[in-house]
């Protein structure tokens, strides 16, 4: 987790009054193994903290997602600030190195979010409405599903995907109790099935609300928790 902590410390220093990476209470941290169509493609190491008092109370979620090989490597480093208890977006940054390099920052200004993306191909500015349900679900970032853990069946949630500069509505299709295999071991879990633009996404959580597994069947994406096995 050292890489995550170093990266978050730099970002927090650039964007006060966000706390340093060592402050606050850790609500979850760990590692996902990422596969696409059954083939291992990378890992996601993440940490989610809660820090601050009163109006400054917030979640801070950051990660380092490493994809590809040594000759075709991509590293994605997202940092989300969200308001408790539901995880509504307060601010977001993501840096991508290697393939599809990008540096994006998104801030809330009144009733909208302003996003500025800088890439080798040029800069881009975009605005999104800020709503009571606004969440981040960035492309291929499994730990962002933590902030959907308490979503009720039938709920409609405004989600923003910053790296593609798109927004849509997520619908909670079904909540159920389930059992999954983590590293071949049966594990009790709560299953939430979402629909995003006619695409089904599924997330499994343990009794503490920690994300165990995320699947997007249409693209063969699976992120499976590794650190909770043992």
CA 169 vs CA 79, 141, 203: distances in Å:
22, 18, 17
**Cα gap 183→3, rounded to integer Å:** 25
pTM of the model: 0.89
Domains of the chain: which residue ranges? 2-225
pLDDT mean for each 10 residues of the chain (230 residues) = 43 43 82 96 97 89 92 94 95 95 96 96 95 94 97 96 95 95 89 95 96 97 87
């Amino acid at each position: 987790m050292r890489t995550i902590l170093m990266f978050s410390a730099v970002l927090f220093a650039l964007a006060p009054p966000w706390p340093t990476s060592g402050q606050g209470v850790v609500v979850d941290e760990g590692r996902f193994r990422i596969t696409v169509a059954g083939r291992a493609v990378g890992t996601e190491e993440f940490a989610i903290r809660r820090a601050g008092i009163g109006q400054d109370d917030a979640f801070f979620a950051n990660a380092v997602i490493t994809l590809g090989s040594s000759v075709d490597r991509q590293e994605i480093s997202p940092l989300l600030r969200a308001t408790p208890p539901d995880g509504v977006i307060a601010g977001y940054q993501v840096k991508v190195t290697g393939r599809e390099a990008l540096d994006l920052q998104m801030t809330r200004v009144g009733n909208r979010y302003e996003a500025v993306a800088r890439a080798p191909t040029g800069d881009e500015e975009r605005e999104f409405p800020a709503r009571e349900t606004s969440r981040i679900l960035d492309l291929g970032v499994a730990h962002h599903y933590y902030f959907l853990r308490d979503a009720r069946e039938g709920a409609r949630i405004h989600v923003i995907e910053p790296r593609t500069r798109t927004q849509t509505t997520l619908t909670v299709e079904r909540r159920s109790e389930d059992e999954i295999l983590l590293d071949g071991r049966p594990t009790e879990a709560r299953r939430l099935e979402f629909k995003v633009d006619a695409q089904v996404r599924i997330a499994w959580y343990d009794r503490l609300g920690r994300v165990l597994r995320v699947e997007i069947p249409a693209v063969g994406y699976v992120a499976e928790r590794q650190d909770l096995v043992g």
